[in-house]
Amino acid sequence: MNTSHTDSPPGTTRLLRIREVLRLCGLSRATLYREIKLHTFPAPVKLSARSVGWLQEDVAQWLEARIAQRGPAYDAAPRRNASAAKESAATADRDRSREPQRREEE
């Protein structure tokens, strides 16, 4: 799973800073640290006295494990993309707006 915008050279490990981890995982800072304390999220690597980072591979594995926990129901359900949903909503709105006009004509 490629979780970065830039690829790391082969054989190197990329460290993610907290903002990127939070963005990738969709967790709040408090929830992230609670998950670390409960040992359900990978621990950070201490970089300096006031700086930590997470191994990109560890975060990617955590995300993949969370996705796998969804179960087969999510895999079987058809997925609609955002543009199809918008188009469907627009069509329904257009149809609803035509209904009163048709009734008036009758």
Q: Per-domain residue ranges for the chain? A: 15-80
**Segment 19-64, tens digit of pLDDT:** 999 999 999 999 999 999 999 999 999 999 999 999 999 999 999 9
Buried b / exposed e across 33-62, counting CB within 10 Å, b at 16+?
eeeeeeeebbebeeeeeeeebbbbebbbeb
The pTM for the full model equals: 0.58
- Give the integer Cα–Cα distance in Å for 45 and 53: 5
Asked if 54 contacts 21 with a C-beta cutoff of 8 angstroms, the reply is yes
